[in-house]
Every structure is written in structure tokens, then in C-alpha cells.
Amino acid sequence: MDRQDFLYRPIIVSMESNEMNFDEIFKKASGYEPYPFQKKLATDTELPQLLDIPTGCGKTAAVILAWLWRRRFEEEEVREKTPRRLVYCLPMRVLMEQTRDNSVNISTQNNIGGAT
């Protein structure tokens, strides 16, 4: 996959019912129940200024899935406060590639995500 395919690939969430909530989407995409900070990121009205979470605790999954949830499924007030685009700024190419790979994996698992 080249860079442009990744940047412009639409994210589509397949919903079996309108009753699905963030916990279910998170578990479907990651295989884990969300930590409280992950759920808070998705469901709070305001976005935090900073996420100070230790390595390996699911920040990438939290940000991607919370953004997706806020843009697609939250009430209008929350959708309006959520940026239309999700942008990562990382200091090293290897981190960028790892985050890209994690993003693709998260967005394509279990019918969550666009075509690969």
C-alpha cells in the first residue's frame, strides 16, 4: 500500500444494529475491553489537551477509535467539537510507520474499516 492509499482510504464501520456502543466497537476492533481513559476520550464532550499514558496502554487504539466514534456516532454537539481529520505528528519515521500499521490493523479488523 502506498502513502496516498493510506491517507485517503475511507473508514467505514459496519453496524449490525443501532444499539452498538463504544465498548462494543472498541472490543470488536482491538479484541480488548476499553480502559476507562479510552472510553472517556470517546464519550466526553470535551477533548483533552494532553494524553499522559504509559507506553503499551493503548493510546493509538484509543485515539483512532475515539475519533471514529465521536465523528460517526456521538450526538451532534460532540461531532461538532471533534476535528474532521485525525493527524499524528511523530518525531521519528519508525514511529510513524508503526502508528500507520497499527491504524490500518485497527480500522480493518472485524469489518471495521475500509477496503485494504
DSSP per-residue letters across 72-83: HTS-HHHHHHS-
- Mean pLDDT across the chain: 79
CB atoms within 10 A of CB 20: 14
Residue with cell 464519550: 43
Output the pLDDT for position 88: 84
What's the grid cell of residue 50?
A: 494532553
pTM: 0.73
State mean pLDDT over 87-106: 88
With 90 as the cut, is the pLDDT of residue 39 above it? Answer: yes
Query: How confident is the model over 50-75, as a mean pLDDT?
Result: 90
The distance from CA 4 to its chain's CA centroid, rounded to whole angstroms, is: 19
Least confident of 20-24, 51-55, 70-74, 111-115: 111-115
The predicted model gives 36-57 an average pLDDT of 91
Mean local confidence (pLDDT), 33-42: 94
When pLDDT is cut at 50, 70 and 90, the band that residue 115 belongs to is: very low
- The answer to whether 25 and 13 are in contact (CB under 8 A) is yes
Average pLDDT over every residue of 33-54: 92
Q: Which three cell numbers stand for residue 42?
A: 470517546
Distance CA 69, CA 13 (A): 10
